[in-house]
Amino acid sequence: MIEPAERLSTIKEYYFSRKLKEISELRESGKDILNLGIGNPDMPPPQGTVKMLHHSSSIEQNHGYQSYTGDPNLRKAFVQWYERHFQVRLNADKEALPLIGSKEGIMHISMAFLNPGDGVLIPDPGYPAYKSVADLLSANVIKYDLKEENGWFPDLNELQKLNLEKVKIMWVNYPNMPTGTKASYEQLEDLVEFGIKNNILICNDNPYSFILNDHPISILKVPKAKSIALELNSLSKSHNMAGWRIGIVVGNEKYINNILKVKSNVDSGMYLPLQLAAVEALNSPESWYENLNKEYLKRREMAAELLKNLDCVFDENQSGMFLWAKIPQDYENSYDFTDYLLKEYDFFITPGKIFGENGEKYIRISLAGNPKNLKMALERVTILA
């Protein structure tokens, strides 16, 4: 047998991949397991988006290789979207690079700027992919704390005390996943100043801006941001297009060109009908986001009721498609609590510990699945209580 690369010893199979196998086995044994853990949007994209995909895929010449930089119409649509919703002006030819999903961007950005041993600041709790990618590239992971007492925002004064000489990238994610925290403009200003002072590339992962959030904001709205910041965005959550894999990285032309060097050696462009359909999605009227959020608000109210019945405590001013909550004091950690819920009530909620040590006493419930599952879970808890 050929031995795997040593880099694989630093990472494990993604938690949700393992958990879904367990849920599948439980269902095969006859249990009706409700999955309330994964943020997989169940609602359809804007109607014109699907129509455009159908139309453009029926055109014979639309099935060939496409530009590594994306179709000009898609870049223009993303740039107009940024100006309309974030009040950020970008050059469509130089400062925007479409991606096959923003998760691809995490890898491409990291490959473009990190050498083995370079430092990467990663939030705890935070999206596990930041650490996994850094580990794959033999970068030095430096976790920074996000804590409830600090509003789930990094203590930049404490970070400044660290040896930051070899740190190249800092991953931030606002609106935050998993905590649902929104960053203020002033906090984004502070992040930009921190990046400039320490010559660290601030990368804001920003796919949750439009979910239960009245004031979407981009780090690039800060005047000096383009000199030191990049931003990832995606249609997965904002337009219910998770499986379409359409994202964008925006920022300084020089940074974008370095990312393009990586991307052009990894993929062969995005299917043109998908790009043209994405243009339709990006041109959705304000009513699209309003209607989407009305549905998510209903689901959040149901999830809140479920959490209250489980004696969990949470901040009601969260954004995004999840609710982050503190588990009852009787439980030592989130794994024990979620295993208890799976065993006693046949539903799965994500343990906060998978996002880092600071998530040990928390859980995350998804608003993205069928709302009937939230109702059924609540019924199980109240009946069996």
pLDDT score for 201 = 98
Map tokens 């050929």 to a residue. 2
- Segment 346-352 shows an average pLDDT of 95
Q: Residue 315's CB: how many other CB atoms inside 10 A?
A: 15
Cβ contact 348:336 at 8 Å: no
pLDDT of residue 298 exceeding 70: yes
**pLDDT reported for residue 291:** 97
Provide the pLDDT for residue 385.
Answer: 59
Task: Determine the average pLDDT of the residues in 8-16.
Answer: 77
Average pLDDT (184-189) is 98
Single-letter amino acid, residue 29 = S
User: Angle 361-162-14 (CA atoms, 0-180°, nearest 5)?
Assistant: 40
In sign, the C-alpha dihedral spanning 122, 128, 131, 137 is negative
Half-sphere exposure of 38 (CA within 13 A, CB side): 14
Q: For 276-286, what is each residue's pLDDT tens digit?
A: 999 999 999 99
pTM: 0.94
Find, among 221, 208, 227, the residue nearest to 322 by Cα: 208
Q: Can you give the pLDDT at residue 19?
A: 81
CB-CB contact of 38 with 366 (8 Å): yes
Tokens of 250: 């925006």
Q: What would the mean pLDDT of 62-70 be, rounded to a whole number?
A: 96
Mean pLDDT on 219-246:
97
- Residues with Cβ within 8 Å of 340's Cβ and at least 6 positions away in sequence, in order, are 331
Q: Mean pLDDT, to the nearest integer, of 269-295?
A: 97
Tell me the three state secondary structure of residue 128.
Answer: helix
Give SS3 for 347: strand
Please provide the average confidence, as pLDDT, over all residues in the chain. 95
Domains and CATH numbers, the chain: 6-44+287-384 (3.90.1150.10), 49-282 (3.40.640.10)
pLDDT in tens, 317-346: 999 999 999 999 999 899 999 999 999 999
